[in-house]
Amino acid sequence: MNDPVFLKACRGQSVEHVPVWFMRQAGRSLPEYRALRGTGSILDAIADPAIASEVTMQPVRRYGVDAAILFSDIVVPYHAIGFGVDVVPGRGPVIASPFASAADLSRLRTLTALDVAQVTETVDLVVKELEATNTPLIGFAGAPFTVASYLVEGAPTRDFALIKGLMHQDPALFGRLMDRLVEITISFLRLQVAHGARALQIFDSWAGALTRDEYQRFALPATSQVIDGLIDLGVPTILFGVGTGELLDLMTTAGSTVVGIDWHVDLDEGRRRVGHKPVQGNLDPARCLSGEALGVEAAREVIARAGSDPGHIFNLGHGVLPETDPAVLEAVVRVVHDEGKAGVR
């Protein structure tokens, strides 16, 4: 089979059309997703391969996107090893007993294939269904700093006081924590590739809470270690963070194949900041809430700023918002495929 356009764009090659997929496309705004999931825990849904594989496939069928993204969550491996993680609707990951001392390091044991067997079974099912269309599956994990933020804070936060306190007051313990997270992250991502994922995204969602110096000292080294631990797999890697416009040049040095750019930075400026590396992004998700015409207008703005250089994957600047009308995303996919120019031969 020929390489899919998504993988070609990841490598900065010429493509037949600009590829597009959406972060959080697997669920949230889709009525078929809500009907399937019901009101149960998202972790229960992720742990059911029949449900998780169907949710992963739903947006591929509806939107005609160029890649599937595994239906999962960045806290899944930590739930699997018994760290005490739950995902509370409307709030996000909550830790029953947050990481607070060196004694908690023992709770971050080595991740085994058995721990996440239901996840890899989901990957198997999705890959088998995607074979007919040669559509790649993207596996993913949380970057060590973002995961550490949840484990230390105990819940989503706006000020990151506890994690920053640990970083600066006890950098040695923070380093030991990051070492454990690097090991778990690499294991989780390698297992996804072993079962057929053809690209990987690393979500450093909260890196934008750091200063440049903090990012270089406390987050970047661990992220680089994760990416180094995946190089031999030969699959593209995408590094993405929110509010990271001032960190893009530093993120580029982590070694990922692609840098994701959120909506706070215009794409032409974002491309300048990352140099010649392929980019992913960056339609503001809120621009998809006001109907098809405005959503398409916003998509055309991104297409124009992407320019004609190869190496652009169209995406939102963050995840699909739950209120989004799926018809808007369908229209966005059409216009990107019809009018996107970056790297199109």
| The 3-state secondary structure of the chain, one letter per residue | CCCCHHHHHHCCCCECCCCECCCCCCCCCCHHHHHHHCCCCHHHHHCCHHHHHHHHHHHHHHHCCCCEECCCCCCHHHHHCCCCEEEECCCEEEECCCCCCHHHHHHCCCCCCCCCHHHHHHHHHHHHHHHHHCCCEEEEEECHHHHHHHHHHCCCCCCCHHHHHHHHHCHHHHHHHHHHHHHHHHHHHHHHHHCCCCEEEEECCCHHHCCHHHHHHHHHHHHHHHHHCCHHHCCCEEEECCCCHHHHHHHHCCCCCEEECCCCCCHHHHHHHHCCCCEEEEECHHHHCCCHHHHHHHHHHHHHHHCCCCCEEEEECCCCCCCCCHHHHHHHHHHHHHHCCCCEC
How far apart CA 310 and CA 308 sit, in angstroms, is: 6
Catalytic residue among 73, 115, 204, 262: 73
Q: Domain with 327 in it: what CATH number?
A: 3.20.20.210
Is residue 180 flagged as an active site residue?
no
Is residue 73 flagged as an active site residue?
yes
194 within a domain of the structure (yes/no): yes
Are the beta carbons of 279 and 313 closer than 8 angstroms?
yes
262 within a domain of the structure (yes/no): yes
pLDDT in tens, the chain (345 residues): 589 999 999 999 999 999 999 999 987 789 899 888 777 789 999 999 999 999 999 999 999 999 999 999 999 999 999 999 999 887 889 999 999 999 999 999 999 999 999 999 999 999 999 999 999 999 999 999 999 999 999 999 999 999 999 999 999 999 999 999 999 999 999 999 999 999 999 999 999 999 999 999 999 999 999 999 999 999 999 999 999 999 999 999 999 999 999 999 999 999 999 998 999 999 999 999 999 999 999 999 999 999 999 999 999 999 999 999 999 999 999 999 999 988 897
Catalytic residue among 63, 78, 150, 215: 150
345 within a domain of the structure (yes/no): no
Catalytic residue among 33, 37, 262, 287: 37
344 within a domain of the structure (yes/no): no
Catalytic residue among 24, 190, 198, 287: 24
Which range marks the domain in which residue 140 is found?
Answer: 5-339
177 within a domain of the structure (yes/no): yes
Q: Which residue has the tokens 């799926």?
A: 326
309 within a domain of the structure (yes/no): yes
Is residue 37 flagged as an active site residue?
yes
pTM of the model: 0.97
206 within a domain of the structure (yes/no): yes
Catalytic residue among 11, 28, 62, 176: 28
Q: How many domains in the chain?
A: 1
pLDDT, tens digit, for every residue of 221-280? 999 999 999 999 999 999 999 999 999 999 999 999 999 999 999 999 999 999 989 999
